[in-house]
Amino acid sequence: QMALAGRTLFVTGASRGIGRAIALKAARDGANVVVAAKTAEAHPKLPGTIYTAAREIEEAGGKALACVVDVRDEEQIRSAVEQAVAKFGGIDILVNNASAINLTGTLGTSMKKVDLMLAVNLRGTYLTSKLCIPHLLKSSNPHILNLSPPLNLNPIWFKNHTAYTMAKYGMSMCVLGMAEEFRGQISVNALWPKTAIQTAAMDMLGGEGIERQCRKADIMADAAYSVFSRPLGGPAHTTGHFLIDEDILREAGLGDMEVYAVEPGHPLMPDFFLDVETDGKSYTPSSKALPSSTKTSNPIEETFALIRTVLSQDLVQSTKGVYQFDLSGEHTGSWFVDLKQGAGLAGQGLPPSPPDVVMSMDSALFSRMFRGELKPTMAFMTGKLRIHGDMTLAIKLEKMMAAMSKSKL
């Protein structure tokens, strides 16, 4: 059964990445897709334009309308909406995917960047929704899906990129408000990935090798399709929820998530805004807004979850090194912290690029070091830690440990 056959989707930022993946998934059902994005001419660094995406949609079996849309421009959105209604007879689904990101602290973020993120993420989502809602109200099964995170008020998701978090949470607040305002008339939800997704933006932020720790955008497309397939008022209907891609697909009966891995078997990087405990089927303000005190069973995994919260472009700039930790004892294995590119990476396995320093120690010692109970230099001097490579990086590592200590996590 083709749940989206003949239905019309208005997708912002659909020329590449997750937006394009959602558009193509719908097209295979024979859906109509409005490709509302800025890129009309090929970008030197980013793949895809509204026209290449439209052609792919047509080739997949759908119908496409390519519209140049900067979601900051009310007239461009209004024109695209009018063209969509004129060509396809209405709008059934709105996907607010367009987004701007800049992962810098308060002092390092220019007001130009702040204005951009607020204008695209928050205002753009609100405005596009406002202009599409009159048409959505005429649909038999209307949906608004914002690609935005759960409203997690844990301070760790604010401290290193307050402006980005405010802008992204603005999209999520649209879900809360509009879901209640149009309850029983339009399904309004948010969708967010449990792990990093391979996109052009992720490649730029994470640098070379990051794709090995990512899933393909197809997982988000399949999860979105599952949401759109739920009829308004039906038993599976949801509105006002913050949905996680993996949870949606498990509910739908898919057990093997490895099919979405860029490199099956490789450890995956958790996405922003999700705490270590992510077992809930959806994230609602009542159950997931406040910090969780849940501990993981593996102290090394827990430590790395905390390490990820202090990674920042400033830390990368002041460190410029890739660490590999070879652990023995109770929790044997290799882990890494890449403080050489993007906003930093941390995870299990070997680093995506050759390490500048390899530190070998017992796993219990590793936990003590990152709790601030023992400095790496002292552990080395007492023979408990073996260091191969750049010794100065061991000293620089103490800066990250100090940041973790200050966060009181």
Residues serving a catalytic function are 164
As beta bridge partners, residue 63 has: 32
User: What are the C-alpha distances in Å from 123 to residues 126, 127, 192, 363?
Assistant: 5, 6, 19, 47
State the burial class of residue 408 (Cβ atoms within 10 Å of its Cβ: 0-12, 13-18, 19+): exposed
Residue pair 164/103 in contact by the 8 Å Cβ criterion: yes
Residue pair 345/213 in contact by the 8 Å Cβ criterion: yes
264: number of Cβ within 10 Å: 10
Q: Is 239 left (phi over 0), alpha (psi -120 to 50) or beta?
A: beta
State the burial class of residue 332 (Cβ atoms within 10 Å of its Cβ: 0-12, 13-18, 19+): exposed
User: What are the C-alpha distances in Å from 361 to residues 71, 365, 376, 384, 395?
Assistant: 51, 7, 10, 7, 16
Q: Sign of torsion, CA 139 142 147 152? A: positive
Q: How far apart are CA 279 and CA 282, in angstroms?
A: 9
Please choose, from the candidates 96, 75, 79, 80, the residue with its C-alpha nearest in 3D space to the C-alpha of residue 14: 96
Q: How far apart are CA 218 and CA 291, in angstroms?
A: 30
Please choose, from the candidates 196, 164, 165, the residue with its C-alpha nearest in 3D space to the C-alpha of residue 18: 196
Specify the DSSP element, H or E, that contains 40: none
